[in-house]
Structure 1
């Protein structure tokens, strides 16, 4: 089955001085959904610790889009290292350095070297909403059932 390839968006990227010499975010394979991002600094994440890790670049996302920051599955499975606030959102009007909030949920300190792949960036369209305040909501089969209520 031939699925048409979506037209890519263009995201302007400004390399910062501490990002010199690092690879730009890139897709690892033809079918990859996320651009791999590398660390622009070296640090050790102790068990239970978290840090905003520098990437050495800033971006200008087109209006109507966001870029989601997502963890790398290999880091999560092998080391217990993940991104907090996942997926994190980079808004189209943000122009500061992209940083990745990493947390070490593992049992051992985790070393991050400058140039290590630490996360993925996934561009996504944004749908804005208008809220309409009402006195009541329509009824559904689930109703007000909360966490875990649909598995019973």
Structure 2
């Protein structure tokens, strides 16, 4: 029997909708709006889900776009990291890339929360001389240096 980590939610607003998967094996849990809001063309709005979440330590929540909103309406999800120690209300920033206003209704599925494992590391600062003693094949070659 496989033991799965849990992700725990609480409603901060009585109209909040508990996230669920669209299909049994979907990676993301659908996040829904608790407010009605019009997003003007080429602008963005922060939309409340009315939920708070407890993400297990060693994981983080990635707020990801819903592909249907992206393809059909030009709506992009922005600013998508929820740390395991955050206990505030979950908001979703939606950006309207289209030339038409987009209306978000109460109850609309606006994004998805994907729980991803992450390694929490400590930053260490060393001198440039020490840093440069550890060469790589790529070195300082940046954008586009490995091909198109």
**Greater than 4 Å deviation, 4+ residue runs:** none
Q: Post-superposition shift, 1:115?
A: 0.4
- Residue of structure 2 equivalent to 1:84: 78
Unaligned regions of 5+ residues in structure 2, if any?
none
Tell me, in whole angstroms, the C-alpha distance in 1 between the residues paired with 2:2 and 2:61: 16
Q: Post-superposition shift, 1:59?
A: 1.2
**Any idea what SS the aligned residue of 1:92 has?**
coil
- 2:118 is matched with which residue: 93, 112, 126? 126
- Residue of structure 2 equivalent to 1:136: 131
Tell me, in whole angstroms, the C-alpha distance in 1 between the residues paired with 2:105 and 2:111: 14
Q: Post-superposition shift, 1:8?
A: 2.5
- 2:27 is matched with which residue: 18, 22, 33? 33
Question: Please, what is the CA RMSD of the aligned residues?
Answer: 1.8
**Any idea what SS the aligned residue of 1:151 has?**
coil
How high is the TM-score relative to the length of structure 1? 0.86
How high is the TM-score relative to the length of structure 2? 0.88
Q: Where does 1:41-120 land on structure 2 (aligned, <5 Å)?
A: 41-85=35-79, 88-120=80-112
Tell me, in whole angstroms, the C-alpha distance in 2 between the residues paired with 1:82 and 1:123: 19
Tell me, in whole angstroms, the C-alpha distance in 2 between the residues paired with 1:131 and 1:144: 20
Of 54-63 and 104-113, more deviation after overlay is shown by 54-63
CA 73–6 in structure 1, closer or farther in 2 if over 3 Å, else same: farther
Matched residues, number:
144
Unaligned regions of 5+ residues in structure 1, if any?
none
**Any idea what SS the aligned residue of 1:10 has?**
coil
Tell me, in whole angstroms, the C-alpha distance in 1 between the residues paired with 2:88 and 2:41: 28
